Amino acid sequence: MAQHVARRGWVLLGVIIVVLAGAVGAGMILRGLPPAAGSVGIATSGASGGVSVGNGAAPKGPEPGPAAVVLVEDAAVHPDADRIRKVLQRYFDAINGGDYPLWRSAVIPQLARDVGESAWHGQYRSTLIGTIVVHRLEPRPGGGLVALTSFTSLQNPADAPPDLPVRCLRWWVSYPLIGEGDQLRMGPTGPSDNLRAAC
């Protein structure tokens, strides 16, 4: 009888170990995934002009990481991948360089009018953005596309969102891309299009 109880104890211990190992493994996998919300996002692109393709994994190194946009494979094969990369690169290069005219050239005119140069400089005065990955492109209701993008920002905590006054933030943003002549421009995002978490 004692031997039977001991055997059951070892079996139970083995089951517990297997369950714990599975939970730890799942936790490690999920740690690298963005929040499961309807929106993800952000993009930038390197000055080299070529489309960067990646697997969506964040490059290792000092934050915020490289400032070149990376399109994962599904986004990279989109017919407008190069135009998307270029407009997102302009947008993020402008923020990183404090270049309002460059930013204005990447967004629709209404957005530039709504923000204004002095407000823009105040909003981005200490911001540096990197590790920019376009995960997916989806059709936008009414025309155009939505680029589901992730990136990392560094900023003075005083310039961070009031609810997360930290130096380093990871963002998942849905950027509207709207046709403007022979190029795309970025439209405004709403609060529900932005997710963020401290690094």
Predicted local distance difference test score (pLDDT) of residue 60: 56
What's the CATH number of domain 37-198, 1.10.3470, 3.40.30, 3.10.450, 3.30.420?
3.10.450
Task: Give every CB contact of residue 48 below 8 A, 6+ residues apart in sequence.
Answer: 68
Query: Where exactly are the structural domains of the chain?
Result: 1-31, 37-198
Q: Which two tokens stand for residue 190?
A: 């709403």
Which residues of the chain carry a pLDDT beneath 70? 1-61, 181
Instruction: Give the pLDDT score at 71.
Output: 96
Q: pLDDT tens, 127-185?
A: 999 999 999 999 988 888 999 999 999 999 999 999 999 999 999 999 999 987 678 99
Q: At a CB cut-off of 8 Å and minimum separation 6, what does 2 contact?
A: none
Give the span between the Cα atoms of 127 and 64, in whole angstroms. Answer: 10
CA 162 – CA 64 distance, rounded (Å):
20
- The reply to whether omega before 64 is within 30° of 0 (cis) is yes
**pLDDT score, position 53:** 41
Contact 185, 106 (CB under 8 A): yes
Q: What is the per-residue pLDDT for 3?
A: 46
Residue 55 tokens, joined: 């697997």
What is the length of the chain? 199
